[in-house]
Every structure is written in C-alpha cells, then in structure tokens.
C-alpha cells in the first residue's frame, strides 16, 4: 500500500503519528481545565528477588565453562556468571529484596507510574484494571531494567522469562502491581 501511494517508510510512519496526534487532540481539546490536580509521590519499594534454582545455577555454570574458551563470548560468560553469583549469594543468605524507586503521578484524571522493568503485559493490565484513574500510563525501564515475567511465562521459558533476564520473578511482579496500585489510588479520594 505504501508503494501504491508513493510514500517512503518514514513518510508513512510520520503520517500515522500525525493522524494519531490529531485524533487524540480532537478529544482532548474539548475538555480543558485551568487548574488540574497535579500530585507526585515517590517511594522506594522492595520486591522479592527472583530465586535461582540449583538446576538453573548448574546450567549457568556449564554455559560459563563452555563459553569461556572463546574470548568473543565474554558478554555471555558474564551474563551466565551473574546467575551463578546470585545463586551463591542466595545460598549464603546474602540476597535481599530488589529496591525500586516508584513514582506515582496524578494529572487531573490521568495516572502515571514508573518502574525499572520491562513488564509482561499481564502485570500492566492488572495495574490499569485496578487504578481509579480514568487513564493509567506506565513508564517502564525507568531504572536499570530487566524483565518481570509472569508465572506462566517462567514455566514456558524463553529469553525474557529465564533467570538470566529477570532479577525479579512473578512474586515480585505481583508485589509491584499491588504497591503501584496502592500508590496511584492514594492520589484519588475514596470513591
């Protein structure tokens, strides 16, 4: 369709962005407020760290050993080696919760919350479904970043659900949901 209309990829994307902006603006301009509520809170929350199993640690050790032979694999060695280190710290009782700075913002009827992660969609839906705001926006990767997989994703595997990719697991994801909803809903009076 782009070729039939004589558009470059950039022109097509630009037209879509402008059309989306125009559509949103048309609705927003009808509801203007001269003094909207603006509130911002910040809290450091603690999320349970993802536990590394013995099997995951053994698999990571094997990968470190096999990959260490080639210096070009340095990044992978460090990535898998971190799992081994986490397991060892966990065994010695030296793993605490993951601290995360959570920003909760109210701007009129809109809520905005930040988190450090790339959340699986289900966690975002849980937050939005329980938020009192008319619209809720989640700003992800507002920190060091890693994935927060659901329990189902963890069982299924895949890059974003493996222990190497996630410092916080499904239990921590639910704590993140609950604490985010609490922080956002505190910005609205009880219904």
DSSP codes joined into one string, 149-163 = --HHHHHH--GGGSG
Q: pTM score > 0.95 for this model? A: no
Q: Is the pLDDT of residue 156 over 90?
A: no
Q: Same domain, yes or no, for 108 and 168?
A: yes
**Pair 45, 112 in one domain:** yes
What would the mean pLDDT of 96-124 be, rounded to a whole number?
A: 96
Residue 124 has pLDDT above 70, yes or no: yes
User: Domain of 103?
Assistant: 33-49+97-185
Same domain? 38 vs 27: no
Instruction: Tally the domains of the chain.
Output: 3
Q: Same structural domain for residues 128 and 166?
A: yes
C-alpha separations of 61 from 55, 75, 78, 162, 168 in Å: 10, 14, 11, 15, 21
Q: What band does 97 get if pLDDT is binned at 50, 70 and 90? A: very high
- Tell the burial category of 32 from Cβ atoms under 10 Å away from its Cβ (0-12, 13-18, 19+): exposed
Mean pLDDT within 50-78: 95
Same domain membership, residue 157 and residue 114: yes
Asked if the structure places residue 190 within a domain, the reply is: no
Range with the poorest average pLDDT among 1-5, 50-54, 64-68, 136-140: 1-5
CB of 67 closer than 8 Å to CB of 76: yes
40 and 107 share one domain: yes
Tens of pLDDT, residues 16-33: 999 999 999 998 888 888
Does residue 38 fall inside a structural domain?
yes
The verdict on 139 and 168 lying in the same domain is: yes
- Asked whether residue 191 is domain-assigned, the answer is no
10 Å Cβ neighbour count for 52? Answer: 23
Q: What is the mean pLDDT of residues 173-188?
A: 97
Query: Which pLDDT score is estimated for 157?
Result: 83
62 and 142 assigned to the same domain: no
Residue 150 reports pLDDT greater than 80:
yes
Q: What pLDDT score was predicted for residue 95?
A: 87
Per-residue pLDDT tens digits for 1-21: 888 999 999 999 999 999 999
Residue 146 in domain:
yes
Residue 43: predicted pLDDT: 97
Is residue 104 located within the same domain as residue 178?
Answer: yes
pLDDT of residue 28: 84
Cα 29 to its chain centre, rounded Å, is: 31
191 has a pLDDT exceeding 90: no
């Amino acid at each position: 369709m782009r070729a039939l209309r004589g558009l470059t990829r950039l022109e097509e994307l630009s037209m879509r962005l402008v059309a989306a902006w125009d559509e949103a603006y048309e609705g927003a301009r009808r509801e203007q407020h001269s003094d909207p509520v603006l509130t911002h809170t910040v809290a450091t929350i603690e999320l349970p760290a993802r536990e590394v199993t013995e099997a995951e640690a053994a698999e990571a050790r094997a990968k470190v050993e096999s990959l260490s032979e080639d210096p070009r694999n340095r990044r992978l060695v460090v990535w898998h080696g971190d799992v081994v280190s986490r397991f060892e710290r966990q065994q010695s009782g030296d793993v605490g919760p993951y601290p995360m700075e959570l920003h909760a913002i109210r701007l009129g009827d809109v809520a905005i919350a930040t988190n450090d992660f790339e959340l699986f969609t289900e966690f975002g839906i849980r937050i939005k479904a329980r938020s009192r705001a008319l619209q809720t926006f989640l700003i992800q990767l507002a920190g060091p970043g890693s994935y927060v997989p659901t329990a189902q994703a963890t069982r299924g595997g895949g890059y974003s659900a493996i222990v190497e990719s996630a410092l916080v697991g499904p239990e921590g994801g639910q704590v993140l949901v609950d604490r985010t909803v609490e922080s956002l809903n505190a910005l609205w009076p009880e219904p």
